[in-house]
Amino acid sequence: KANRKAIIAGNWKMNKTATEAVELIDALIPAVKDANCEVVICTPFTTLVTAVEKTKGTNIHVGAENVHFEKSGAFTGEISADMLVDLGVEYVITGHSERRQYFAETDETVNKRTLAALNAGLKVLVCVGENLTQREQGVTEELVRMQTKIALNGVTAEQMANVVIAYEPVWAIGTGKTATSDQAQEVCAAIRKVLGELYGEAVAKATTIQYGGSMNAGNAEELLGKPDVDGGLIGGASLKADAFATIVAAA
Ligand code: PEP
């Protein structure tokens, strides 16, 4: 893992008003200040201004949870990559399984969002992962390979420096059911293999691959101890400063 950045990112989902976020960020700042990893909080759009302001001069980086792929125009309700960059937002999540499940996100739109974000200068946390049926059918690796390939279609080797892959088995998200560290390792290694095929060994070795899915203060150390698990994307446990800080300390 020597040349890879460990990244612990919180995904707040549709939680916390901007007003409520102040309290959480105030508690997070001292709790994660000695982190040995990169610390990111991905917040709702309405909280981004507050999050960027509050975290100025700290080691906490701010991300959005989604981005539209067009630069501007008649797309009511959508937010462009340039709008995020203009606010001082540094990261964005693409392809989260909740977007795929509830908002008709496809591999193709995940790819378009990823490209738009990278071209605007954002760093992107690209989510991939199988659902329970797919795992039971034994197609996890094949599916995750395909999701990764399509998401990265058109992304250059240089741009890969701004790409993080988050392996998130859908059956483990928000369910309290974590993948075993061996399961997480197996798929993260498979993803790194795909990156090697697409971009060569150097890029594959340098790319941060996170695990996400009910990672918490109790299981983070074991998961993060695996050779190809370079960090975590944290949902529920990112809403509590002490739990999130414990995960950060484990990275
Ligand atoms: C997520 O939403 O990316 C996630 C991993 O959620 P949770 O940690 O709550 O399972």
pLDDT tens sequence across 82-119:
999 999 999 999 999 999 999 999 999 999 999 999 99
Q: Is any ligand 1 atom within 6 A of the Cβ of residue 214?
A: yes
CB 152 within 8 A of CB 111: yes
Share of the chain above pLDDT 70, in %: 100
Residue 177: the pLDDT is 86
Confirm whether residue 231 is marked as ligand binding: no
Ligand 1 within 6 A of CB of 212: yes
Q: Distances in Å between the alpha carbon of 47 and those of 2, 41, 50, 245?
A: 34, 11, 5, 20
Q: Is 159:118 a contact under the CB 8 Å cutoff?
A: yes
Tell me what the pLDDT averaged over the chain comes to.
97
Is 215 near ligand 1, meaning CB less than 6 Å away? Answer: yes
Give buried/exposed letters for 146-163 (b at 16+ CB in 10 A, else e). ebbbbbbeebeeebbeeb
- 172 CA distance to ligand 1 middle (Å): 8
CA of 138 to the centre of ligand 1 (A): 23
User: Is the C-beta atom of 168 inside 6 A of ligand 1?
Assistant: yes
- At the topology level, CATH places domain 7-72+80-250 in TIM Barrel (3.20.20)
Residue 13 counted as an annotated binding residue: yes
Distance from the alpha carbon of residue 163 to the mean position of ligand 1, in angstroms: 19
Q: How far apart are CA 44 and CA 21, in angstroms?
A: 10
- Of 139 and 3, the structure prediction assigns the larger pLDDT to 139
Do the annotations mark residue 138 as ligand-binding? no
Regarding pTM above 0.95, the answer is: yes
Tokens 């964005």 locate to 92
**Does residue 21 register a pLDDT over 90?**
yes
At 2, the pLDDT band (50, 70, 90 cuts) reads confident
pLDDT for 154 beyond 90: yes
How much is the pLDDT for 176?
86
**Ligand 1 atom nearest 175 alpha carbon:** 10
Nearest CA to ligand 1 atom 1: 235
Of 2, 3, 43, 1, the residue nearest 24 (C-alpha): 43
Tokens of 29: 């700042």
The strand pair at 7-11 and 38-43 is best described as: parallel
Q: Is the CB of 44 under 6 A from ligand 1?
A: no
Four-point Cα dihedral 164, 41, 81, 199, nearest 10: -10
Is the ipTM value over 0.95, yes or no?
yes
Beta strands in the chain (DSSP E): 7-11, 38-43, 60-64, 91-94, 123-128, 163-167, 209-212, 231-234
196-240 confidence digits (pLDDT tens):
999 999 999 999 999 999 999 999 999 999 999 999 999 999 999
Q: How far apart are CA 182 and CA 248, in angstroms?
A: 21
**In sequence order, what are the residues at sequence separation of 6 or more whose Cβ sits closer than 8 angstroms to the Cβ of residue 161?**
206
Instruction: Report whether pLDDT(1) > 90.
Output: no
* Ligand 1 touching residue 8 (CB < 6 A): no
Catalogue the active-site residues.
96, 168
209: CA distance to ligand 1 center in Å? 15
